[in-house]
Each structure stands twice: as structure tokens, then as C-alpha cells.
Amino acid sequence: MTELEQPAFALLMSSAFFMTVAWLLLLRPIALKIGLTDKPNTRKKHNGDIPLIGGLAIYLCMFFFILTESKLTTINMGFLTAISLIIATGLIDDFKNLDLKLRFFAEIVAILIMIKWGGIEITSLGNLFGLGEIQLGLFSIPFTVFAILGGINAFNMIDGIDGLAGGTSLIIFFILCALFITTNYSNLLLLCSLLAAATSAFLVFNLKAFGQKTAKVFLGDAGSMMLGFTISVVIISASQGVHKIINPVTALWLIASPLLDTVTIMSLRIKQGRSVFSPDREHLHHLLPIAGFGRHVTLGLILTFSLLLGLTGLALDLVFNAPEWLMFSLFMLVFISYHYNLSHAWKMLKVARYLNSNIGIKRRIQTNRRTHNPSSLILIVKRRLKQRRILSDRRYQASAKEIEEFNQSRFYKSYKKS
């Protein structure tokens, strides 16, 4: 990027940021009025109805600049048509839970539009096994549909805590911007920069910034699906064809965080005999808070993990020129480690919860006896039972029998007698 282009580039990003802010402020009261909101329930612990307009605001900003910015109008209109279908499908799903088959059908149609009209297609997987380049041939279109479909739903599935899907997307956009700056991919650079600015504006409203007590807006299915679709398309563009700038295997590293979590969770659900799309609280962003990490710490850990994996992939490819088979082998080692730890996480959490629930209470009882504060035991018991009720929708939950056993425990009875 030349010095003459830098002011225009900065103006584009700042304009995208403030335009997204304007759309969020305009759409928020409308969403509250028409019911385009996420309501709290047993699985969602936020306070009040939160508008699901983050994705729509980002889309409207992107739509405006693609149609008006001369350097962005060269982006194939197939992308704009496909992304509009994705947003429409997501909004319907946000208003009223859309049937899974209809949602997949709409996503597949959007992907086929991108393949046929936009020219996006995975034709090669590279030299994954050290035996030569793997050409897909007749399987190119089915594999492309499968890959982008996986990317869409991976970002949708990680959207479980404030800032995670948006923050992960922002990290990937920044990594891609750095990549495109060094390779003079001007169209993709402007698109990723535009989306990075718009996503940053959304995160200001989504995260509890500037004294906000709760999130002002959520991304919604429309937003997570749109970001997953866009990132998948951009990465495929950069890793395929004669003008590719990264190896196909590097794409796995760039989206490693949502990919690892989604594939692991789906495999665990299949092992348990459940639908791969059945809701649960076994994602990493659910397990870390149970282990005692706060939401902000949980978000920071996962985003750092995503950043490190993305940079590792780029470094292996562009700096060290590592063989593709080696990059794939290392990625599989990361996946196996992630899968093993996540699949055994509940055992460690149960041990920690047992120690916290029983040994911790015994110590507090002994302390309270020495300080002659009998009312504290009742408060401890109530607090513990309340925490168990809060966790009622998680995999481990306290039953009536467990609560009764707690009330009949020896140390509780001994206290009552004293």
C-alpha cells in the first residue's frame, strides 16, 4: 500500500466504523419494538431482551461500501447475492427458529451461488500426506459446499458468550489484512479491513465497555452465519488457484479455534447418541467459567488461543516454508490434544466441584463455629443450593436425592444438634 493510499484507506475504515455505530443506534429501538431480540431462559442468563441486530448492521455497512466504493465494486456480485441470502436466512431464524432442513437448504443455495457466480471453489487440498498434491476433480463442488457449510455453522456454534464470535472474526480479519498487505491483494484487503472496522463497532456495543452493565446488542444467527460465510470465502480465495498466497492447509490454522471446538463437540454428541445439533453446555466457553474463570478471562483465553494458532499457521507456511504434510500433522496433533482434554474436562470439573461443595463447606462450618456465627451455615447451604440450581441446565446437576443427602450429612446434623 502506497503512502497516497493510506489516508483513503484510513478514511474507509473510520467511515465503516461510524456507519456501523449509526446502524446499531438506528436499528436497536426498531428491534425492541418488533421483537427481534434474544430473550433470557434456562440456557441464556443475560438480563432483559437484547436486540439481535449486530450482523444486520455489519451487513448494511458492507453492502453500502461494496456498491459505492470504486475499488470494492470489482468484487463479484455473486458474493453480495449469496451474503444477502445468508443474512435473510439468519434473520428469519432469529425471529422464529427456522427448521434446520430449511436453514441448511438456504445455506447450500448461497454457497452454490458463490461457486457458480463468484468462482469460489476448492480444487486442491495440497500435499497433505507427502504423496503429492490432492486434486479433488469431480468432488470439488461437493467438498466446497461441505467446507463453507462447516465454516458457517462453526462460527454459529461458538457464539455462546459475549464477544466470542465477533472477537474471533476480528482476529482473523486482522491476520488476513496483514497477509493481504504483504501480497498486494487490494480487493480482499479492503473487504477484510471494512469488515474489521464494522465488527469492532459491533463489539463496542456487545461487550460491557464504557460502563455498560449488559450487552446492548447481540450478533444473532444472521451475524455469526454471515461472518462464517465471509471468512470461509476469503480464505478459499487466498488458498486456491494459480494466484494463491497461502497453502490450503494454512486455512485450517486460520480458523482453528472455531473448527476444533465444533468438530470436537459434534464428535462427542455422536458418541453419546445425540444429534450433532442438540444444544448443550460442553463448549470450551462454557467449561472455563465452570472451572472458575470469569467471562472476560474466558474470552481473553480463547481469543489468545485463536490468535496464536492463526499466527502459527502463517509462520509455518510463509516464514519457515514448512512442508504441507508437516503442517497438517501438527494440526492433527493439536486437534487430538484438544479433543482429549475437552472430552475429559467434566471429570476434572466434577472433582473440583465436589471439593468445593463438601470440603469447602466443612471448613467454613468449623470456622463459623469458632466465631460463633450460627447463621452463616444456613447462608452457605442456601448459596450452594442456589449455585446448583443455576447449573441445572448443564450436564451435571444436583438431584433432589443429592440435596437430601446433603441435608442428612453427618456434619450438617452435628451442627444442628450443637
DSSP conformation letters of 254-308: HTHHHHHHHHHHHHHHHHTT--TT---S-SHHHHHHHTT--HHHHHHHHHHHHHH
Domain that holds residue 316: 5-343
**Strand partners for 37:** 51
297 and 379 both lie in a single domain: no
291 and 381 both lie in a single domain: no
pLDDT of residue 269: 87
73 and 140 both lie in a single domain: yes
Please give the single-letter amino acid code of residue 142.
P
* Continuous segment of H or E residues that includes residue 206: helix 186-206
Q: Which residues of 280-303 are buried (b: 16+ CB within 10 A; e: fewer)?
A: ebbbbbbbbebeeeebeebbeebb
Tally the domains of the chain: 2
Domain end point (choices 282, 311, 343)? 343
pLDDT of residue 44: 57
One DSSP character per residue, 238-255 reads HHSSTT-SS-TTHHHHHT
55 and 196 both lie in a single domain: yes
Q: ∠ CA 370-352-277 to the nearest 5 degrees?
A: 140
Give the pLDDT of the chain (418 residues) as one tens digit per residue: 544 467 777 888 999 999 999 999 999 999 999 999 987 755 555 567 899 999 999 999 999 998 887 666 556 788 999 999 999 999 999 998 899 999 999 999 999 999 998 889 999 999 999 999 999 999 999 999 999 999 999 999 998 888 999 999 999 999 999 999 888 777 789 899 999 999 999 999 998 765 667 788 999 999 999 999 999 999 999 999 888 999 999 999 999 999 999 999 999 888 888 888 887 777 888 888 877 788 888 899 999 999 999 999 999 999 999 999 999 999 999 999 999 988 887 665 665 555 555 544 455 545 554 444 445 545 555 555 544 444 444 444 444 555 566 566 655 555 455 5
227 and 212 both lie in a single domain: yes
CA 198/CA 170 separation, integer angstroms:
9
319 and 384 both lie in a single domain: no
Closest by Cα among 380, 382, 366 to 414: 366
pLDDT of residue 187: 76
β 50-51/37-38 pair status: antiparallel
230 and 376 both lie in a single domain: no
Are 326 and 315 a contacting pair, CB within 8 Å? no
Other residues' Cβ atoms within 10 Å of the Cβ of residue 336: 10
- With a CB cutoff of 8 Å and minimum separation 6, the contacts of 188 are 176, 180, 234, 237, 238
CA 257/CA 135 separation, integer angstroms:
26
Domain end point (choices 328, 343, 358)? 343
CA 145/CA 142 separation, integer angstroms:
5
Domain end point (choices 343, 362, 377)? 343
- With a CB cutoff of 8 Å and minimum separation 6, the contacts of 19 are 61, 64, 198
Furthest C-alpha separation in the chain = 83
pLDDT of residue 402: 52
Compute CA distances 109 → 136, 155, 223, whole Å.
21, 19, 18
381 and 403 both lie in a single domain: yes
**Strands, E assignment, 18-148:** 37-38, 50-51, 124-126, 134-135
207 and 271 both lie in a single domain: yes
263 and 354 both lie in a single domain: no
326 and 221 both lie in a single domain: yes
97 and 163 both lie in a single domain: yes
Are 53 and 27 a contacting pair, CB within 8 Å? yes
One DSSP character per residue, 207-227 reads TT-TT-SS-S---HHHHHHHH
> Which grid coordinates belong to 123?
480444487
